[in-house]
Structure 1
Amino acid sequence: MTPKDPALVQASKAMALLLRHDPAAGGISLDAEGWTPVEALLRGLQRLGHPLDRAALDALVAGDAKTRYAVSADGARIRANQGHSLDGVALAHRAAVPPAVLYHGTVARCLEAILREGLRPMARHHVHLSAEPATARAVGQRRGTPVVLQVDAAALQAEGAVFRRSENGVWLCDHVPPHRLALLPAG
């Protein structure tokens, strides 16, 4: 299967569902840090109509440009690197000092609420930020014409905000207030 193979794309979406939002949909469970046995995930994907063998799963994980998933060192367990909406799953991302400026991609229809309320995690555990505007633009583009917001991470951290960095380089925080946001000009 190639990365653009529709079956692989659908299997990846099913993995995100099981590893981030609804493990019960595939009859699996996650531990407190989001791990589940690889064999359980493969059975869960089969239940959802997305059969993969271990080689195909490994190729999907390795070929994921956003490195959404991590496999344990012994190869027996798998988890999503971030983006969970489940209670009871809290990945142990260590606090880290962010770059002075981070970015968030969104779409124009969300901009008014964001500029009024700031960035909130919504159904997820954290607000997701990126170190490059191009990455934020790509994130926003998934839902329409992208809008990129610049986050004054240095000032926010000085105010006491805690930043964490996931294994795949996504910066996480609890909230970004509107006074720490600026609209990045298109381009």
Structure 2
Amino acid sequence: MDEKRTVKASKFLARVLRHEPGLIGVTLDEGGWVDVDVLLAACAAHGRRLSRAELEHVVETNNKKRYAISEDGRRIRASQGHSVSVDLGLAPAVPPDVLYHGTATVTVPIVLREGLRPMSRQDVHLSADLETAVRVGSRHGRPAVLAVDAAGLAAAGHVFRLSANGVWLSGPVPPERLRLLPS
């Protein structure tokens, strides 16, 4: 599978498994899982033929580890980033003292005024390292990185969860727990 086809398949899977399962007529269970054979048949029926080997290649080579295949190999889901309602079953976890959020510089004034909100997703996404936050922020223009006082939030009862691919998930983060890092 060439790189261009891999990227195209990954983007399509993200759309289906995170946001629009109905696009190809599949239904995610409460945990976001769908049967692999059902997914592959639905993809083929909608002109997006993908073999089991190609699907596994997309899952294994995705640099953000966006997808997870169940231990028995029968089901697949997105690791996080859903706009459709799912319960990933992630237990609360103790975060590092500081987490990071990458965004575009144009959104910084709003974020510093209103805090971080999930927007169209179920959770706010945070990174454990600065490099990942810069990369995330770069997707939408010139990046800016905000440091999140995760220790202070956790001490105040804020719940954090760690997704299978290392993304920290939380509810809204108030502006007083954010600090803009110098660029």
Q: Shorter-chain TM-score: which interval?
A: over 0.9
Q: Does 1:165 align with 2:128?
A: no
> 1:133 matched to which residue of 2?
130
Structure 1 regions of 5+ residues with no counterpart? none
Instruction: Measure how far apart 1:50 and its partner are.
Output: 2.5
Where 1:164 maps in the other structure, the secondary structure is strand
| Structure 2 counterpart of 1:179, one-letter code | E
CA contact 1:15–1:45 (8 Å) conserved in 2: no
Alignment partner for residue 64 of structure 1, among 37, 56, 62? 62
Q: Aligned in 2, Cα 1:36/1:115: closer, same or farther, shift over 3 Å?
A: same
Change (3 A) 1:112 1:42: same
Q: Give 1:170 deviation, angstroms.
A: 0.5
TM superposition score normalised by structure 1: 0.94
Residues 1:179 and 2:179 aligned together: no
Q: 1:38: which partner in 2?
A: 36
What is residue 11 of structure 2 aligned with on the other side?
13
Q: Which residue of 2 aligns with 1:110?
A: 107
Shift of 1:64: 0.6
Alignment partner of 1:51 out of 35, 49, 52: 49
SS at match of 2:28: coil
Distance 1:175 1:112, change over 3 A: same
Corresponding residue of 2:22: 24
Q: How many residues align?
A: 183
- The runs of at least 4 aligned residues of structure 1 exceeding 6 Å deviation read none
For residue 46 of structure 1, report the CA deviation from its aligned partner: 2.5
* Identical positions, percent: 54
Report the CA distance between 1:162 and its aligned residue: 0.4
| Counterpart Cα distance in 2 of 1:46 and 1:10 | 15
Aligned to 1:76: 74
CA distance in 2, matches of 1:42, 1:137: 34
1:43 Cα shift? 2.3
Unaligned regions of 5+ residues in structure 2, if any?
none
Q: Which amino acid aligns with 1:13?
A: K
Say which is worse superposed, 43-52 or 152-161, in terms of deviation.
43-52
User: 2: CA distance between counterparts of 1:114 and 1:15?
Assistant: 29
Distance in 1 (CA, whole Å) between partners of 2:181 and 2:48 is 40
Alpha-carbon distance, 1:47 to partner: 3.9
Alignment RMSD (CA, Å): 1.0
